[in-house]
Each structure stands twice: as structure tokens, then as C-alpha cells.
Chain A
Amino acid sequence: MAKELKLMKGNQAIAEAAIRMGCDGYFGYPITPQSEVLEHLMAERPYLTTGMVVLQAESELASINMVYAGASTGKRVMTSSSSPGFSLMQEGLSYIAGAELPALCVNVVRGGPGLGTIQPSQSDYFQTTKGGGHGDYRLITLAPASVQEMYDFVELGFDLAFKYRNPAAILSDGVIGQVMEKVMVDDYKPRWTNEYIEEHCPWAATGHRAGGKSTIVTSLELEALKQEAINERIQAKYRKCEEEDARHEAIQCDDAEYLFVAYGSAARICMKAMELARAEGIKVGLVRPITLWPFPTKAVAEIGGRMKKILSVEMNAGQMIEDVKLAVNCNVPVEHYGRYGGVIPTPVEIFEALKKMVK
């Protein structure tokens, strides 16, 4: 079987991508609006075909710690959740970053705070891009704006996680999770063999005392100077990641005088708002960060630096705007337009906000 075109929900695309890219294990707990990830996996039963383990855990605490342990043995393992569940995972994510393990965690964001709403939101931007759990660490954060990207970012997320031995996150939202779109899916790739893991992941506790020496996976180092050295190593990885792996998409920026910065479903809505604006002669472009951490600072600085004004459009009360302002060093005025608590802004609303800013 070669590539195939399928119609599916964003959440299903995550599950389908995991099976097809050769993921070893998924551990998750139901929560709206992302339960279709686990549902699709349970319906597909990859444990009978690819050998991928799928388990409904007793909680998000259990899921993330299963991911931690699975990653400790060199397996490609993942979980998914939505905001309240993702909050429960923060201690575990911090352990994964501290033990320098690769893993993938998907957050299909819903509005908060608290139990909030099951409607889509981008209000977990701070939590995901600034660390979220305790300690100095970052999640490599991918922001899909289509069902196709939900699919593609599973493998990309694992690649980046293994490149840096750091947890990666897909920060999606209820729109992208629930909407149905066409997706080009790949052929099935085999899972890594234990021999491959033994060879490529010398840090993994496979049980086999590779090289005759026992392998320890831990995030504990009580001596401050040694703990500082670990932190320095982790920070060096982050600087490299910022240098090599910041991604963005620039749309109609060449002739633009004004700029939208938006990610995920907000970016999709901005595309429509751009059409409305350009029809009325307002030259507006869009920078869509694909990695939220590392933030595409250079691109936003370079493109944003040429603009008269920038509008950060987010489905939250103004979180990414801080990174946009830092990128342009406040040399260009940056304003925020957002709806939150699960409300999705319309293209007309965004267009109106742009007009107000332009005046």
C-alpha cells in the first residue's frame, strides 16, 4: 500500500499517524475534545498488526508516567489529552525533560481555567511553551493548523524529540481536533527493533545492561554543582534547537504593511480575514509560527520589523503576543486581538480589529 487519501478528524489523524509511523505505545485517558485519539486506536487495534501497545490508563498521571517509563527503555511512546488532563501531566513532563528522554504529548486545548468548557481555545500557550511543570525546561511545541499537519507532526514530533532527547508537544485545539479534512496518509513503516534501539539509544534502560554496564534513567542529582552541569547541558540543547528548528510559514508578507501573527486555527481564520482586508486595499500578511517553542523569533523580527503594525491574533487573552513583542524588540507596535473561554473569532471580527488598528 502506498500513500492514500483519507477523510478524517484531526484527532483520528493523530492516531492513524502513530500507527503508520511505527509508534511503539500510546497511553491515554478520555477527555473531550480529544477522546477520538484513543477511540480510533482501540478501533484499529494496532497491537494485532504493528505490535503497538495501546492502553487506557487510570488517569493522566498514570499515562504520562507510562510514557516516561516507556521512553526510558528507548521506545517511541506518546499520550494525548486536553487542558485539565495536560495540567495533570506537568510533573511527569518535567521528569521526562529532566531525565532527557524523548516522548510525544498532544494537547487538544479547550477553554479554561478550571473545568472550563469543552469548546476550543489556545489558552494553554504559556503552559506549553514556557515549561509548564517545575524546573528550567521547555517542550518542543508544534502547532498544527490542519488535519494534515496533525498527521504530519506526529512523526516530526518524534524526530525532534529524539534529536534533542526532550519531550515534544503538539499544541492543537478543539477545532483542529474535531474538524474533518482530507489527509494524505503514508504507508506503514515498521517499528524500531530492539536491536536498533540498543544501537541508537545507548541511554535507554533496556534491561540488557548494554556494554556490560547498568543503565540508570533518573532526573535526580542531589549535588547542586552536578545538577547545574545537567541544566547547562539541557540549556545548550535548547540553544541549538532555537538555532536549527524554529519553523514558520509566511503568507503574503512581501508587499504587506501590516502583519497578523497567529497559529493553529486562529491562523486559518486570519487567512480569510486577509482576503477581506486585501479586497479593501489593506495590505496585510500573516506569519504563522509552526513551532511555538522554539518561537520563530528571527522570522518575526525580520518580517515584522518591516511592518507599520502587528496584530497578534489568539484564542486567548494575549499570551503569544509577549513573544511577538520580544521578537520585534517593541520597535513595531504590537496589538492583540483575541476571543477566549471557548469562543472562536470570526474572520469579520478580525478584519474589524485590523481596521481599528490601521486607523
Chain B
Amino acid sequence: MTREDIIKPENLVYKRTSVLKDATMHYCPGCGHGTVHRIIAEVIEEMGIQDNVVGISPVGCSVLAYNYFDVDFVEAAHGRAPACASAIKRLRPETFVFSYQGDGDLASIGCAEVMHACNRGENITMIFINNGIYGMTGGQMAPTTLEGMETVTCPYGRDPEIMGHTMRLTEALAQLPGTYYVTRQAVYTPALARKCKKAIRQAFENQKLNKGVSFVEVTSNCNSGWKMTAVQANKWMEENTLKYFPLGDMKVNGKFDPKFIERIATFDQPNETLYSLRKK
């Protein structure tokens, strides 16, 4: 096959969605941010809503998300994306609105805003990239950093007695009546990425119902912050992160998933998971 043959439309099996600009992303190789961007962009394209959507980017590695998506975008202050999304949806109810935040942005500095937007049942889609660390500022501890995990601000491992416990905020948000759909996904294998895409599609479709927040956490990696190769990071995430942050739906169509109810019943056991994550 010549190059000319390959680029014929009938031979095309894969292309950049028109909702992503022709720009080189600044993300580290293997970082989950890029994959999730692509999934969101594909969903926007498939739903045909490119000309009726506003995205809100956070402060974090994805602060420049607006340089990649070819849709209208507003860049929020650190942690305030849910407040921004709430206002835009209320002022322009006919528009699809989504916020995109990291775990420092959403679970630490923006904890109040996400809680209250979820509690008010804003009719928006929230995407939450949980990589257990502050990627952008150089790998500091986040509320979601696992116990025992090392970061530059907990170089001897996160000690919950001094530094607080690993925060499962998504589980808390699922319990607010204002959330309609809450799920935890991952994108580090093609199968998982496809599942995640279904979830994100659902989270956008739900805006047509006007029933409250649709919240998709994506458990992700930060190879640079974790100081691992992309392959190591994915393996590590599977063996550690996902034990504390198991994948799956928590709430669908406003109803709790039975497995989720079973799981949160075990939360009151102290030090349920204290992993020893020191690297040799």
C-alpha cells in the first residue's frame, strides 16, 4: 500500500476528532489527561453538540485544556470550576456545560464548591481526574494521596495520623441527593477507555433530563509525579490505587448501586487500608 492508498477515506480506521484542535498536547507521555480529553471530544462530536457546549478548565496540569478542545471554554480559578459551571448552566440552561478538574483542584481547595454544586443538583457534567497527586506543581501530596505513598511533601510516606486520611470524595458526593449519576472509571487499557467513554457519554446525555449532577471520576496516573515510567505507573495504579478507589458505578439514574452500598458499609473500620508503598 502506498501512502496515497492509506489516506483514502475508505481505509481510514482512526482519526483525530474535529472537536480536538490540531495542537500538540503538553502532557507527559502516558498521562491519562490526554486520553480523557480525547474521549470527551469524541462524545461531543458524536452527540453533535460542538456548537452548544461550554467547558470549564481548572488550575492544574489541564489548565490549558482550552488549547486542545475546539469548543468555547472558560478557565476557572483554582478549585472554583463547579461554581463557574453552576452559574453558566443557570444563565444558559440550553447549553451543555462540563467542568474538568484534578484532585487537588476538586478535592482540596475546591472541596466546598464541588460539594455545594452537587448538593444543589446543578444540571451539569463533572469530570474528575484523580491521579493522587498535584501533578502541575511538582508532585505534592493531594487529599487523594494513598496512605504510605511518597510525594515531595510527604517524602517518608503519607502518615494519616499527621497528614489526614486518603479522601474518597466521590463516595461522599454519591450520597448527596443532588447527584444523579456517579461513577469511577479508568482509561489505562483500551477496554477501560471504552467503558469510560460510555460513562462520559451518559454523563453528557443526562443533561437533557435536568435531574442533577453527573459525575465521572477517572482514576488516573501521574508518571512524572509518581516518578515511574508510564508502564510502571499503570501497574502500580492497578495494584494500589484501585484497591482503595475501586472502579464502577456508585449511583445510576439517581439510585445507589447495590455493590456501592455494600462497600461503604465497611468504611467505618479504622485503617482499612494502610499500604506500604515505599519503593525499594
A69 pairs with B74, CB closer than 8 A: yes
B83 pairs with A57, CB closer than 8 A: yes
Tell me if B169 is interfacial: C-beta within 8 Å of chain A.
no
Tell me if B56 is interfacial: C-beta within 8 Å of chain A.
yes
* Chain B residues near A219 (CB-CB < 8 A): 75
* Chain A residues near B71 (CB-CB < 8 A): 207, 209, 214
Shortest A214–chain B CB gap in Å is 5
Complex Cα spacing A219 to B73, Å: 12
* Chain B residues near A13 (CB-CB < 8 A): none
Give the secondary structure class of B's interface: mixed
A77 pairs with B72, CB closer than 8 A: no
* Chain B residues near A99 (CB-CB < 8 A): 75
Tell me if A256 is interfacial: C-beta within 8 Å of chain B.
no
- Residue picked from B70, B71, B90, most chain A C-beta under 10 Å: B90
Tell me if B33 is interfacial: C-beta within 8 Å of chain A.
no
* Chain A residues near B76 (CB-CB < 8 A): 65, 68-69
Q: A58-B113, A65-B113, A214-B70 are in contact. Are A207 and B52 (CB under 8 A)?
A: yes
> Chain A: residues with CB nearer than 8 A to chain B?
24-25, 27, 53, 55, 57-59, 61-63, 65-70, 72-73, 75, 77, 91-92, 95, 99, 194, 205-209, 214-220
B113 pairs with A62, CB closer than 8 A: yes
A62 pairs with B88, CB closer than 8 A: no
Complex Cα spacing A59 to B116, Å: 10
Q: List the 10 shortest-distance A-B pairs measured between CB atoms, nearest first.
A: A69-B84, A66-B87, A218-B75, A65-B80, A205-B72, A58-B116, A207-B95, A65-B83, A62-B83, A72-B74
Tell me if B96 is interfacial: C-beta within 8 Å of chain A.
yes
Tell me if B63 is interfacial: C-beta within 8 Å of chain A.
yes
* Chain B residues near A207 (CB-CB < 8 A): 51-54, 71-72, 92, 95-97
Complex Cα spacing A55 to B121, Å: 13
Partner of A66, one of B53, B84, B115: B84
A214 pairs with B72, CB closer than 8 A: yes
Complex Cα spacing A98 to B88, Å: 19
Complex Cα spacing A277 to B90, Å: 55
A206 pairs with B72, CB closer than 8 A: yes
B75 pairs with A62, CB closer than 8 A: no
Tell me if B108 is interfacial: C-beta within 8 Å of chain A.
no
B66 pairs with A216, CB closer than 8 A: yes
Complex Cα spacing A3 to B77, Å: 41
* Chain B residues near A217 (CB-CB < 8 A): 73-75
Tell me if B213 is interfacial: C-beta within 8 Å of chain A.
no
Which chain B residue shows the least CB distance to A96? B77
Complex Cα spacing A63 to B56, Å: 16
Shortest B107–chain A CB gap in Å is 16
A67 pairs with B87, CB closer than 8 A: yes
Shortest A206–chain B CB gap in Å is 6
Tell me if B69 is interfacial: C-beta within 8 Å of chain A.
yes
B91 pairs with A73, CB closer than 8 A: yes
Partner of B77, one of A73, A92, A194, A216: A92
A61 pairs with B112, CB closer than 8 A: yes
B54 pairs with A73, CB closer than 8 A: yes
B83 pairs with A24, CB closer than 8 A: no
Partner of A91, one of B77, B88, B92, B97: B77
B84 pairs with A214, CB closer than 8 A: no
Shortest B274–chain A CB gap in Å is 33
Chain B 58-102, CB-CB to A under 8 Å as 1, else 0, gives 000001101101111111110010011111101110011100000
Which chain B residue shows the least CB distance to A218? B75
- B residues 249-270 touching A (CB-CB < 8 Å): none
Complex Cα spacing A215 to B95, Å: 15
* Chain B residues near A194 (CB-CB < 8 A): 92
Complex Cα spacing A99 to B75, Å: 9
Shortest B268–chain A CB gap in Å is 28
A68 pairs with B84, CB closer than 8 A: yes
B75 pairs with A25, CB closer than 8 A: no
Complex Cα spacing A188 to B86, Å: 27
Shortest B87–chain A CB gap in Å is 4
Tell me if B175 is interfacial: C-beta within 8 Å of chain A.
no
A68 pairs with B90, CB closer than 8 A: no
List 6 other contacts, CB 8 Å, given A77-B87, A92-B77, A207-B96.
Answer: A55-B87, A66-B84, A66-B87, A205-B74, A208-B72, A220-B63
* Chain A residues near B83 (CB-CB < 8 A): 57, 61-63, 65-66, 69
Complex Cα spacing A207 to B49, Å: 9
* Chain B residues near A215 (CB-CB < 8 A): 72-73
Shortest A150–chain B CB gap in Å is 24
Which chain B residue shows the least CB distance to A70? B87
Tell me if B50 is interfacial: C-beta within 8 Å of chain A.
yes
* Chain A residues near B113 (CB-CB < 8 A): 58, 61-62, 65
* Chain A residues near B84 (CB-CB < 8 A): 65-66, 68-69, 72
Q: A205-B74, A220-B63 are in contact. Are A69 and B50 (CB under 8 A)?
A: no
